[in-house]
Structure formats: C-alpha cells, structure tokens
Copies of this chain bind each other. A is one copy, B any other.
Amino acid sequence: MDRLEVTLKELRGFVGEREWEQFHDPKNLAMAISSEAGELLAEYRWVNNAEADDYSRQPEPRERIAAEVADVGIALLLFCDRIGLDLIKAIGEKMARNRENYPLEQSRGRWDRPI
C-alpha cells in the first residue's frame, strides 16, 4: 500500500468513526475544497509575487500555509473517495490532454493557451 492509500484509509477511518458521511456528499465536499483553498489564498493576498517564495519559507506563515494545504488535500481526497475517483489516475489523464493543449514549442515561456 503506498503513502496515498495509507492516508486515504486514515481519512476514511476518521470520518467513519465520527459518522460524518452524512455531511460529506460531493456538493458539500466541493464547497469544503473551495473554502479551504480560499484560506490558503488569504495567506498570499497581500504578498507580492517577488516575495512569495521567501514568505513561504518564514516559520510562522509556513506553519499556517502547511495547515491550509493539508486542509485542501484532505477535502480533495475525501471528495475523490466519495465519488470513487482515483486522483492519481485523473491527474494522469488530464496531463495527457494538457500535453495536447500546450505543445512544447508553442507553449515555451508563455502562459496563455497557444491553441
């Protein structure tokens, strides 16, 4: 069992013991992902692009950032588990499409979608 599977099993146990499946339908979990992502966003709201890497290394904000990232990850994994979706497989399929949509030569050094 790889690390992601171990984590998923732990999350399932945590939720199951608390009888929270009743709250965890996909709609509510999509809201949880988004609200947690909003808390991560809040960390960087007033931080300039040029300072964002450095800010992420300072102990105090880093601790909060790690907790927010974890919250997004937890909600995302619970969502995937609820709808029976393999996150790693979904990412693999999306990356295949990304390779088509962002061909190497036309995409190098530019962020807008070239085709």
Binding site for B on A (CB under 8 A): 2-4, 7, 10-11, 14, 17-20, 22-23, 25-28, 30-50, 52-53, 55-57, 62, 65-67, 69-74, 76-77, 79-80, 82-83, 85, 87-88, 90-95, 97-99, 102, 104, 107-109, 111-112
The answer on a CB contact under 8 Å between B27 and A91 is no
Task: Please report the C-alpha to C-alpha distance between residue A94 and residue B7 in the assembled complex, in whole angstroms.
Answer: 12
| Dominant SS among interface residues on chain A | helix
Closest to A39 in B: B38
Contacts of A97 in B (CB 8 A): 67
Given contacts A39-B38, A104-B17, contact A44 B69 (CB under 8 A): no
Task: Give Cα A73–Cα B76 distance, bound, in whole angstroms.
Answer: 8
Query: A52 and B27: CB pair below 8 A?
Result: yes
